[in-house]
Structure 1
């Protein structure tokens, strides 16, 4: 049975979360009212997973995550209120080592959380399986210095798919992607809808590329990228003269997720006539396997993150098992593989 520590400064929320988890078959071994208590109790009770509030007295969630990761690395799920401040703080906590995030419906003191019980239990169970140290603090190996854009093929498109544990790896890849390569970038990160805008902003800040959250009908050219909006599939609907267009929809979930990596990769393989590169990163499930095969069949290059650096190896493993992955690389070698695949000499 999965053993959980519930951390929240609200006694009401600690009770609600504990009851939901216990009813879902998870053993809540203890609770904590602030970050300082959380760090001590993680060491004392050694839970399989921690649910961590963001805003707390004495020590907030970001500080607590950093302390836990340095003293007793444990998979942590951030439970965030639906505010811009909490979304930013949650992404920072994930940068410090938290594995995933779950948005509290209704705000900080939520009376609506019980309506999302199954989703919360499933997320806690998924996070509990993660390796909390894999990919943490990953830094990409810098690609070789480029002398000009002529070194690369014309009009390449990069498709990135990730789930649990993915934000840090996505950020590191895009942060070291050379602007001279002139990619059109599409990112599908399984993430609550409340966080994708902030995630896109973080990618924009840390990358030489102009990254935005996707809007229906959005068009991008070289040096630009889109992050799939939470709860919307992102389909490539058109491609002409190196300019790519996407449409968003809320059609049926695939692999129980929306956005789905497969939707974006499969439609890109159908529409894009110039070089395609697809990479699947850490996460649970089978999403991305069919998409990788579509890209491979369309003549594109395909890569997967290796097991050692993946917080959860499910998505890369399923893709590798199809036989459609060209290379398996550790997280810090993926940018190098991506750029090498579009060099004119390769």
Structure 2
């Protein structure tokens, strides 16, 4: 049975979350009122997962995440109220090593939590399976050294080596934000991609996510809006709670529309919706990439991309926090290449090299 520590400064919220997890088959081995107690509980109980509030007295959630990841690396799910201030704080927690986050409901909390209980149990169970530890830290890991080497290789290529008008489609979920940021930070502008990114993330957080990618990438990145058009060197992030589909493509520019159609694979935005719609209308080279995440979203999209001659890549198990989405994509038989996160930027560029395209 999965074992959890629940950290929240509200007694009511600790009780509600603990009851939901217990009813969902997850054993709550300890509750903590602040970051100090959370660290102590993790030391004592060595749980499989921690749910961590952001704002707590004595030691906040970010500080607690950093200490836990330094001392006893443990998968952590942040529980964040959606406010402008908490958007930044939540991403800071991910930077410190938290795997994912879940938005606390507002308004009538008990009623809202009851409505979201299945989602909470699912994501806690998924985060509990995530791979965490020194090998996944962003600053001194061997993977970061390999990433630097890959980045130097990408910078050696010239624009003349690439096919014209390529489109890049990236899908990810649990553990994905840092992976997407890493890939985009190493993607050279001279490749001239049009990039569509689908990250399973609540409404309100995707704008901040797009801003973070934009600050780390040579590409012009923003949250998608209905009717947006993008060309070479531009990227859109699907907004939370909306599907982003490609509605038109002409002369190297693509147009998207946003829909509130029912969730696909229990999620909205869905990777499958974006990839499949792109495959229907884009007649220039495409690359589809599936990164870490739970569930099967993206598998059908990868098949669609491959069916029209696109190149397809999946993140490997070792560097995926959760190997659900990449695994399901690989199982379709339509993934061309499986790579560690450090090799994916170079793999993307390999897929649009003129010489390789001509050979294939």
- TM-score tier (shorter): over 0.9
1:76 to 2:76 alignment: yes
TM-score (norm: length of structure 1): 0.96
Q: What are structure 1's unaligned runs of at least 5 residues?
A: none
Aligned residues of 1:136 and 1:168 also touching (Cα < 8 A): no
Instruction: Give the structure 1 partner of residue 196 of structure 2.
Output: 186
Distance 2:188 2:276 in 1: 25
TM-score (norm. length: structure 2): 0.92
Displacement of 1:24 in angstroms is 2.3
Q: Mapping of 1:38-49 within 5 angstroms? A: 38-49=38-49
Mapped contact 1:171–1:203 kept (Cα < 8 A): yes
Which of 348, 353, 356 matches 1:338?
Answer: 348
Q: How far does residue 205 in structure 1 lie from its aligned partner after superposition?
A: 0.9
Residue matched to 2:257:
247
The aligned residue for residue 65 of structure 2 is 65
| C-alpha contact 2:154 2:188 (8 A) present in aligned 1 | no
2: CA distance, partners of 1:110 / 1:65: 25
- Quote how far apart the aligned CAs of 1:148 are: 4.1
Structure 1 position 73, deviation (Å) = 1.1
291, 302, 305: which one pairs with 1:281? 291
Looking at structure 1, the residues matched to 93 and 113 of structure 2 have their Cα atoms a distance apart, in angstroms, of 22
CA distance in 2, matches of 1:54, 1:110: 17
Q: CA deviation at 1:220?
A: 0.6
SS class of match (2:155):
coil
Q: Does the C-alpha gap of structure 1 residues 60 and 229 become closer, same or farther in structure 2, counting only changes over 3 Å?
A: same
Does the CA contact (< 8 Å) of 2:14 and 2:31 recur in 1?
Answer: yes
Partner of 1:208: 218
Is contact 1:216–1:246 with CA below 8 Å preserved after alignment? Answer: yes
Shift of 1:194: 2.5
Distance 2:298 2:342 in 1: 20
Residue 27 of structure 2 is aligned to residue 17 of structure 1: no
**Aligned twin of 2:244:** 234
Q: 1:289, 1:41 → 2: CA distance? A: 39
Runs of 4+ in 1 over 4 A off after TM superposition: none
Question: Aligned to 2:354, what secondary structure does the other structure show?
Answer: coil
The answer for unaligned runs of 5 or more in structure 2 is none
| Partner SS, residue 73 of structure 1 | coil
8 Å CA contact 1:6, 1:52 repeated in 2: yes
1-structure distance, mates of 2:208, 2:316: 27
Task: Please list, as runs of the form range in 1=range in 2, the aligned pairs for 1:302-313 lying within 5 A after superposition.
Answer: 302-313=312-323
Superposed displacement of residue 84, structure 1:
1.4
- Deviation track 1:65-86 (CA, whole Å, cap 9, x = no partner) reads 1111111111111000110111
- Distance in 2 separating the partners of 1:86 and 1:179: 32
Q: Alpha carbon RMSD of aligned pairs, Å?
A: 1.5
8 Å contact kept, 1:146–1:180: no
Question: How many residue pairs are counted as aligned between the two chains?
Answer: 345
Residue 266 of structure 1: aligned partner: 276
Task: Provide the rounded CA distance (Å) in 2 between the counterparts of 1:95 and 1:271.
Answer: 37
Report Cα offsets for 1:212-267 as digits up to 9, x if no partner.
11111111111110011111111110000010101111112111111111111111
- Structure 2 residue aligned with 1:128: 128
Quote the Cα distance in structure 2 between the aligned partners of 1:127 and 1:145.
35
CA distance in 2, matches of 1:118, 1:325: 31
Which one has the bigger helix percentage? 2
